[in-house]
Structure 1
Amino acid sequence: MKTYLRILQFAKPYSRFVPLYTIYTILGIVFGLFNFTLIIPLLNVLFGEVGAEEAVAMATQKPEFSLNIEFFKDFFNYYFGQVILQEGRQGALLFVCLIVIVSIFLANLFRYLAFRVIGELRAHVVKNMRHAVYQRVTELHLGYFSNERKGDLMTRLTVDIQEVESSVVSTLTVVVREPISIIAFFVLLFSMSVKLTLFTLILLPLSGGIIAGISKRLKRKAQQGQNSLSFILTIIDETLSGIRVVKAFNAEPFILNKFNSQNNRYADIQRSIANKRDLASPLSEFLGVTVVAGLLYYGGSLVLNQESELSPSEFITYIILFSQVLVPAKAMSASFSNIQRGLVSGDRVLQVIDTKPEIKDKPDAKVLRSFEQDIEFRNVKFGYGDKVVLQNINIAIPKGKTVALVGPSGGGKSTLADLIPRFYDPMGGKILIDGLDIRDYTMASVRDKMGVVTQDPILFNDTIFSNIAFNKTDATADEVITAAKIANAHDFIMQTPDGYQTTIGDRGGKLSGGQRQRLSIARAILKNPPILILDEATSALDTESEKLVQEALTNLMKNRTSIVIAHRLSTIQHADEILVLQHGQIVERGTHEELQNSSGLYAKLTQMQLTV
């Protein structure tokens, strides 16, 4: 119930939906009930139980208004009696039939209008929920995505939200309308016969308990089903991302077997869910008919023995009315079965929304207007879980200088660079920009001063122009072309089919590695940040591409503060300072010449690359 109510929170403001929906629903139910109450006069006319004397008695005095069932009953009888006196039984029959038509039309009209309102509410809830979960995903720190399966997140963003829409929000009509219908039916039934209605209230909870037991088991299966589906999407994502490796290792049978294992498990779970869900409706119908049969026997015996306050026509109407109670009851039992699946999906979506971002702005965070002095690491320590990756890091990077980070893999170079734009926060010590801890600045203003170029360029399935002008919506064509020229990208761009409007495919798959990297550099040039972070930007390139990219990087680094991570030591010989990291600590520092002469780790690494 808690999850259901939380999902409905996404419908705020309720004032847009609740008043109209309530009015339309009540009017639809009232006119729907009115149709069944007309069965009594209809049967009385057909069976000849209303004669001239009865008609005169009904039409004698017009009832005074009062808000109860008796008034509406007497009001109808008054006009019904007048019609019988003036038009006869044939006219009375026509009168009742016309009222039935009008009543059914109004009942269905208001029902349709209620559906219109609930349709808008459904779209509103799903839109707000999808926005909330996507916004939270973008706010979460990088470590979260290292611990979660991408396929599972995609399942929550797509399948789970769709399930919430189809299984929870779509049943709002049932959850709201049907209980009101049942209450209205029982009010009418109590007004007709208290004894018979109490008899039915003894039998109905029994069938409700059986249906509730089925629904509870259904929720457990639904949880297993959603987890299995997330595994399937993870396998699909990994297969598509690594299709080259799959084919290179002839791993198609292996990956297919892995997929089939999860696919079969999901199919078994869905089959079990379907069996339990489909059992709810026929079982509720059987139990309902059993109750009606018991009522028919018990009430019929009272009528036959003249122990009931109901006439035969009223008893028939009572049975018909009670049978209609089973319609909303059956709809509720079926919807509660569906809701269980939706609530499981709702829980999974809310888990993402409830995840608190570990990296966030302080309430009084300042805006970093400009970068003027330096970046400083003071006794910085960082680790992933219990594993310490960096410790006792002390660095000062003056404005306009280039600092290179080198060392064996796993030494902490990329982690150190990730701390500067606050992808992570240090566990100990502090990082300062212009003398102030970066946690005292807003994240947006800190990252606005930085440009990042990584070893694996991140491009989007869009045009070349859009990739260079990413998040710079006011960029002109001339600005984009200028950035591309500085990045040595303009010539190859003009050779593509549509120039700057060429779509480059998923992750830039239509381009070579060097071309993708130069687009990434052009994007950084267009942003024109004062601080650059270059994470092994040339290590995966061939010699020709590396030369072009290195020229582009040299152009990019002019008059900027740069932090460069490099495996190829030849690319950072002109750095103002080189830091050698090993096991999370700075073991050497100095210029290229100083480190070469020290015969330490840096000199050893340089010698190893020269002999390759």
Structure 2
Amino acid sequence: MQLPRILRLFSPHRGRLATVLILIVLGAVLSLAPPFLLRQILDVALPHGRIGLLTELAAGMLLATVGIRVAAVIESYLSLTVGQEIINDLRKRVYDHLQRMSLAFFTRTRTGEIQSRITNDVGGMSAAVTGVAATVVGSLATVAASLIAMVILEWRLTVLSILLLPVFALISRSVGEERRAITLERQQKLATISAFLEESLSVNGFLLTRALGSSPVLVAEFGRHSKDLADLGVRSAMAGRWRQCGVQVVMSAMPVMVYWCAGLVAHHTGTFISIGTLVAFTALQQGLFGPVAQLMQVGIAVRSSLALFQRVFEYLDLPIDIPAPEHPVPLRRARGNVRFENVHFSYGDKQVLSGIDIEVPAGGRLAIVGPTGAGKTTLGYLVPRLYDVTGGRVAIDGVDVRDLSFETLADTVGVVSQETHIFHTTVRDNLRLAKPGATSDEVEAAAKAAQIHDFIEALPDGYSTIAGERGYRFSGGERQRIAIARTLLRDPPVLVLDEATSALDAETEHAVQRALDRLSVGRTTIIIAHRLSTIRSADEIVVLDHGQIAERGDHDHLVVAGGLYASLASRSLLSPSAPADARTRRSAPHGQPTGRPSGKTAV
């Protein structure tokens, strides 16, 4: 049941909501005064020419109206503030929860779907959350006050007025259920469009589309998605419209019914209802039916928004498969000894790693090689806990990585991968992601060590140059050296290099390798690589095959052994340098990509 959970969202704002309630009750009480004052004007002041009484009654109506409007403005401000704070809190909670998900979640979920939950779904709740509480309470208070006043004025006409209220409630419920189903379908379609846009209008998507000449196909597909969304918008807006039209006609006809019934009562009983009473009663009747209509609309909006809450709560309820330790172990002055102890890992039913036992002493260099799909990257990602072992453990300086806080792990283990991510912000801010409080001197020192400082200085705005989406302003080698500088700035004692040079040409690889060598000095380094040039100097080479250790030793020993490593190495020696990454830039000074082919060797 979602309603109790939704109501709990309002509990931190009880104080302001209490103020809203007081203002609503005050407004409801004040709204009763004008009809009674109007009756006195029509039945007493005007017929008897009492100008003084007329002035007092008119002033009273004016003051009541001013009081109602002032209370409504303050109440609206408080309601909007509370509603937006709730939306903001939900948005942050979803984002924070997703930040604690494992890498596996993001590999199986479309980015556009995630974005849609945070923007479209949470944003779509805004109207419901912002005004629902105040509207419900205000409408209920007005309805209650109006009913009491109507009974005081004329109880027989009041009975006639309330006979239709249950029918209105049933109509509202049926329309709300219909719109809820349409809203869920509409949000799913919005998520599909968001994912489609993110994939097709990203830099990679654009390059692929232009290269294949598939723009017309994608435009047609987007047109279909957009047309479906437009149709759902019409269906949502028109759902129950004829039923609501009937309700509005009945509400509009009720004053006529009151006048007709008053005439019948007078004709059959000889009891006349005064003109002032009739006018006051019909005014109160509108004060009854107006809030009832609002409640109907709110009910429809709430039922529609339940679909949005359902989708948001689905994400908030996703289990954290890599939970933070309840009592993290401190790791002061980490030396960097890394040990894999009988490590097993599986993706669902698929076993990826089995019985891995490796120890990398502090400051040592371990290379992990093997055929594609052997589990090399997965093994490396177990160290920074991007995945969790399903058996055995990974320890740093004797402490299980599952017992270390994520902050400690981030300070202890640095990762440089082939796919370096650069944010669409300045080069300086990209570097400071590793150390937000770094000084300009520290940032430049790290860039110099990564052999990228001179290049950055030569950019139009130096370190203030905007990197562009995913860093496509720069070549693959330049992005890699920025990533290396970022890691140097953080200064971790353990380093995982995940095929950091596999997509680079020989010249760029040489420059990046020099930066990596500088980065690796004094650190425990785990190298996942295909290229022989990056692994032959490792203290130990571990060869994985189908998730198990097939061979281990140094380069010379493994070559002489004539096993899998020797086979892979012989193929690598035939092609010691892979072609350049297609995104490697070597042309304009403003960093436009030139488009070279890419490839990689077998080791």
TM-score, length basis structure 1: 0.90
Q: What residue in structure 2 maps to residue 328 of structure 1?
A: 291
* Aligned equivalent of 1:78: none
Partner letter of residue 144 of structure 1? Answer: F
AA of the residue aligned to 1:323 = Q
The residue aligned with 2:30 is: 31
Cα distance in 1, alignment partners of residues 514 and 482 from structure 2:
13
Aligned counterparts of 2:481 and 2:58: Cα–Cα separation in 1:
80
Query: Which residue does 1:571 correspond to in 2?
Result: 534
The equivalent residue for 1:433 is: 396
1:144 and 1:488, CA in 2 relative to 1: closer, same or farther beyond 3 A? Answer: same
- Confirm whether residue 22 of structure 1 aligns to residue 57 of structure 2: no
Separation in 2 of the partners of 1:311 and 1:95? 21
* TM-fit CA distance, 1:519: 0.3
1:537 matched to 2:536: no
Match of 1:420 in 2: 383
Mapped to 1, the partners of 2:280 and 2:11 lie a distance apart of: 42
Q: Secondary structure at the match of 1:153?
A: helix
Match of 2:597 in 1: none
CA distance in structure 1 between the partners assigned to 2:444 and 2:243 by the alignment: 65
Tell me which residue corresponds to 2:117. Answer: 156
Shift of 1:299: 3.9
Report if the CA contact (8 A) 2:431-2:443 is conserved. Answer: yes
Distance 1:247 1:308 in 2: 85
Q: Are the equivalent residues in 2 in contact too, given 1:532–1:562 (CA < 8 A)?
A: yes
Which residue in 2 is equivalent to 1:3?
2
State which of 457, 473, 488 in structure 1 corresponds to 2:436: 473
Q: Distance in 2 between matches of 1:603 and 1:300?
A: 107
Give yes or no for the alignment of 1:168 onto 2:129: yes
SS of structure 1 residue aligned to 2:335? coil
Structure 2 match to 1:220:
181
The residue correspondences of 1:327-346 to structure 2 (distance < 5 A) are 327-346=290-309
Residue 60 of structure 2 is matched in structure 1 by 99
Counterpart residue number, 1:81: none
Show the 5 A alignment for 1:278-427.
Answer: 278-279=241-242, 281-306=244-269, 310-372=273-335, 374-427=337-390
- For residue 193 of structure 2, the aligned residue among 229, 232, 241 is 232
Q: CA deviation at 1:538?
A: 0.3
Work out whether residues 579 and 588 of structure 1, in 8 Å CA contact, stay in contact via their aligned partners in 2.
yes
**What amino acid sits opposite 1:267 in the alignment?**
A
Q: Distance in 1 between matches of 2:422 and 2:311?
A: 30
Mapped partners of 1:505, 1:263: distance in 2: 28
Corresponding residue for residue 116 of structure 1: 77
Q: Which residue identity does 2:38 align to in structure 1?
A: I
Q: In 2 relative to 1, CA 573–213 (structure 1 residues): closer, same or farther, beyond 3 Å? A: same
Deviation (angstroms), 1:496: 0.5
Q: Which moved more, 1:544-553 or 1:250-259?
A: 250-259
Shift of 1:370: 3.0
* Local SS of the residue matching 1:579: strand
2:510 match = 547
Work out which of the residue numbers 195, 206, 211 in structure 1 matches 2:167: 206
- Give, as a single letter, the amino acid of the residue that structure 1 aligns with 2:35: F
Deviation at 1:142, TM superposition (A): 1.3
Deviation of the 1:272 alpha carbon: 0.4
Calculate the aligned-residue CA RMSD, in Å: 1.9
**2:102 counterpart residue number:** 141
Q: Which has the larger radius of gyration?
A: 1
Aligned pairs (5 A) from 1:186-197:
186-197=147-158
| Structure 1 Cα separation of the partners of residues 37 and 273 of structure 2 | 16
**CA distance in structure 1 between the aligned counterparts of 2:152 and 2:190, rounded to whole angstroms:** 52
Distance 1:308 1:355 in 2: 68
**Residues 18-43 of structure 1, C-alpha deviation per residue, up to 9 Å, x if partnerless?**
22111211111111111111121011
Look up the match of 2:449: 486
Q: Is the CA contact (8 Å cut-off) linking 2:128 and 2:305 kept in structure 1?
A: yes
Which one-letter code corresponds to 1:38 in the other structure?
L
Alignment partner, residue 587 of structure 2: none
Q: 1:315 to 1:542 in 2, by over 3 A?
A: same
The answer as to whether partners of 2:43 and 2:274 remain within 8 angstroms in 1 is: no
- For residue 413 of structure 2, the aligned residue among 423, 447, 450 is 450
2:50 equivalent in structure 1: 89
Distance 1:44 1:477 in 2: 82
Secondary structure class of the residue paired with 1:452? strand
Q: Is the 8 A contact 1:204 1:291 kept in 2?
A: no
Amino acid at match of 2:23: Y
Q: Deviations over 1:183-216 (max 9, x none)?
A: 1111111223333323332222112212221111
Distance 1:4 1:554, change over 3 A: same
CA distance in 2: counterparts of 1:298 and 1:585, whole angstroms:
90
- Give the deviation of 1:479 after TM superposition: 1.3
Change over 3 Å in CA distance of 1:350–1:484 after alignment to 2: same
Counterpart Cα distance in 1 of 2:336 and 2:186: 56
Matched AA of 1:282: C
SS at match of 2:269: coil
Shift, 1:290, TM fit:
4.4
Deviations 1:211-268 (A, max 9, x none): 2211111100000000001000100000022110111111112222222222221111
Displacement of 1:131 in angstroms is: 1.4
Query: How many residue pairs end up in the alignment?
Result: 573
Moved more, 353-362 or 265-274: 353-362
1:280 and 1:364 map into 2 onto residues whose CA distance is 59
Give 1:47 deviation, angstroms. Answer: 6.1
Q: Is the 8 A contact 1:141 1:357 kept in 2?
A: yes
Once the 2 structures are TM-superposed, how far is the Cα of residue 446 of structure 1 from its aligned partner? 2.2
Question: 284-293 vs 543-552, which deviates more?
Answer: 284-293
Distance 1:608 1:254 in 2: 41
CA shift digits 1:503-552 (9 cap, x unpaired) = 11111111111111100000111111100000000011111110100000
The residue that corresponds to 2:12 in the other structure is: 13
Structure 1 unmatched ranges of 5 or more? 52-87
CA positional deviation for 1:373: 6.2
- Secondary structure in 1 matching 2:329: coil
- 8 Å contact from structure 1 (residues 468, 480) kept in 2: yes
Aligned partner letter, 1:438 = V
Q: Distance in 2 between matches of 1:191 and 1:471?
A: 72
Q: Is the 8 A contact 2:46 2:54 kept in 1?
A: no
Match of 2:138 in 1: 177
- 1:132-152 deviation line (CA, Å, top 9, x unaligned): 111111111111212222111
Q: Which amino acid aligns with 2:236?
A: I
Structure 2 residue matching 1:370: 3-state secondary structure: coil
Q: Go from structure 1 to structure 2 and tell me whether the alpha carbon gap of 1:277 and 1:508 turns closer, same or farther (over 3 Å shift).
A: farther
Structure 1 Cα separation of the partners of residues 260 and 177 of structure 2: 33
Structure 2: distance between partners of 1:169 and 1:476: 43
Tell me the secondary structure at the aligned position of residue 142 of structure 2. Answer: helix
Give, in angstroms, the shift of residue 295 of structure 1. Answer: 4.2
Residues 233-252 of structure 1 mapped to structure 2, 5 A cutoff:
233-241=194-202, 242-252=205-215
Which residue in 1 is equivalent to 2:584?
none
Range with bigger deviation, 300-309 or 523-532: 300-309
Question: Structure 2 CA distance, aligned partners of 1:281 and 1:349?
Answer: 30
Q: Which residue of 1 aligns with 2:601?
A: none
SS in 2 for 1:168: helix
SS of corresponding position for 2:164: helix
Change (3 A) 1:207 1:10: closer
- Give 1:343 shift: 2.2
Find the counterpart in structure 1 of residue 459 from structure 2. Answer: 496
